[in-house]
Chain A
Amino acid sequence: MSGRLSQGLYHAVLWLVALVFFAPVFWIVLSSFKTASQILAVPPLLVFRPTLANYARLFAQPAFEHHFFNSVVLSVLAVLIAVAVSFLAAFAFSRFRPGATNFLMFLLLSIRMLPGSAAILPVYLMYVAFGWKDSYIWMTLFYAMFSIPFSVWILKGFIDGVSPRFDETGIVNGASWLSIIARLTFPQVLPGVVAALIFNFIFVWNEFLFNYIIGGINTANIPVLLATNLSHGGGIDWTFLSSLTTVYILPPIIAVYFFQRFLLVGMTFGTVRGEV
């Protein structure tokens, strides 16, 4: 009996910890259902009559549609390109181990270890010189390039885990390398591909600095809208910001719920495997 009680207490503590970490997020979600004066009320309101007016106003704004569309297109396209080319390279690195494998893997990783402003500075100079700023194509390609290191690292880990005997069997049975890659290896590393897609998507989705620097009014995504709306202009429109933020942070949180078993792989470049 006391065992069950202590177990119940233990579980209550765990839920409390989870809720404490979620509280700031919850507060903004709550605020998005308030009117402007309710958001700024002192003392803060916990009980109130929720309104959907903020969302109605948000979805009616052409600026929201435009930037949200940008966020979706940039992240989906960049991630698909990145994972496709990374898969091929990861296969080559894993199976043929060309001479420069270790060095190239190191170079790839070092791109992601660099502070964002240092990574974007030379690209900015190049984009200005060639007139590539504020273009969908060049923005997508840059994001794709920035998603490659992570994808190659994750996918190489997964392909290393597939025995080369499958390849040998394939060759003996007369398969071409194309079908070995596409029909033998790919299905077995599908979890890795999904993990690479999801976590690169979250990265590009949340990315602000690069878009701010090499983008413009055409290609700006929602994080740019969020950040510039804050730092410029006097009064802050909290109803707009809270509803926009709520809509925008939903996809990554949903992704964590559905792909929780990839969280560890996704947050560690594939260097730590397992589930929590």
Chain B
Amino acid sequence: MSLAVSSRRPFASRHRSGLIAFFGRREVLPAVLICPVLLFFIVWDTIPTLWLLGLSFYRFSLTSGRPPIFSGLYNYTSILNDAETWFDLSRTFIFVLLAVGIETVAGMLLGLLFWRSDRLPGRRVALTLLFAPMVVTPVAAGTFWRLIYDPTFGILDWFIRSLGFAPVRFLSDANVAFSAVLAVDVWMWTPFMVLMALAALASVPKAELEAAEIDRLTWLQRFRLVILYHGKFILMLGILLRTIDAFKTMDLIFDMTYGGPGTATELVAMTLFRRAFEDFNMGSSSALAVILLLISIAFTVTFLYVLYLRERKAALA
């Protein structure tokens, strides 16, 4: 019956003894295949993480030259009792909320705009230009935004002044710097949400859209009942990925403001960077890193949960 079974046995291998045969056994093979990744994983993740976890219970500074001193939960309590930590965390969450919110709304609107762009002349070039911000080196993006934001010869400031407004010191004015950095993040990552919105729209069956049109649903109803119904998981995955990434924002800040002026743009990743690689306070920064690790794990679990929901829906359909 089966056509695939031919008498020529095209894959028959000549060596079927010894080690290869042993590694080829079904009980052994998976372990052999996973082994290299596991090795990488143990050396660069498990061991360092355990090290980090251990060190977070010690008072240890690289600059003092003294060996670590066990201090129990001291690092954690001092971080959690430090008002500065909570300021940094809330600043980070405000940043994440605003960035992801604006990017999601803008991305969905632009996604709807680009939905029917199949016959756009030079579509591939246009989309490359549109998606360029998210693959541009973040440090380089920080560099040229500094040129654009520069208060004396930046193009943006020239534009504002020629409109008759007072010059704005985008990156050195504590009231503006946060929005200026936020704007760059929005510029960089709105294209990502456009991409996700386009993917979500592509997952909507044409027949249902036509049916909705025949049933004369309003635009809002069509969006809510048809588009969101089919596209919501892809959109949720996009929003989650963006949330996680915005929470990690670091390169851009490092290059544009270095957390300043004052602490106006100090996000947690930057705080941790300063504490670890400027103050070399390894005990305290390990504890902060463990706290960030827990937050990231919460994000990861949520992400996987949405994936699971989507798979379950696909299995039911």
Residues of A within 8 A of B (CB): 7, 10-11, 13-15, 17-19, 21-22, 24-25, 27-28, 31, 39-44, 85-86, 88-89, 91-93, 95-96, 98, 104, 106-111, 113-118, 121-126, 128, 141-142, 144-146, 148, 152, 169-170, 172-180, 183, 202, 205-206, 208-209, 213, 222-223, 226-227, 230-231, 236, 238, 241-242, 245, 248-249, 252-253, 255-257, 260, 263-264, 267-269, 271-272, 274-276
Contacts and interface: CB of A to CB of B under 8 A. Distances in A.
Nearest to A266: B135
9 closest A-B pairs by beta carbon, nearest first, are: A175-B11, A122-B48, A92-B33, A28-B144, A122-B52, A22-B129, A89-B37, A85-B36, A252-B135
Given A106-B304, A115-B247, A117-B273, A85 B47 contact: no
B113 A122 contact: no
Nearest to B289: A118
A256 B20 CA distance: 41
Given A40-B152, A252-B137, 4 more contacts: A22-B132, A39-B147, A43-B158, A126-B47
A18 B4 contact: no
A269 B237 CA distance: 10
Contacts of B16: 176
A275 B203 CA distance: 11
Interface of B is mostly: helix
Contacts of A253: 128, 132, 135-136
Interface string B118-142: 0111101111111111111111111
A67 B219 CA distance: 53
Contacts of A173: 4-6, 9-12
A25 B132 contact: yes
B95 interface: no
Interface of B: 2, 4-6, 9-13, 16, 20, 24, 26, 29-31, 33-34, 36-38, 40-41, 43-45, 47-49, 51-52, 55, 62, 110, 113-114, 116-117, 119-122, 124-148, 152-153, 155, 158, 162, 187, 190-192, 195-196, 198-199, 202-203, 234, 237-238, 241, 244, 247-248, 250-251, 254-255, 258, 268-270, 272-273, 276-277, 282, 285-286, 288-289, 292-293, 296-297, 299-301, 303-304, 307
Interface centre among A40, A95, A114, A152 (most CB of B within 10 A): A114
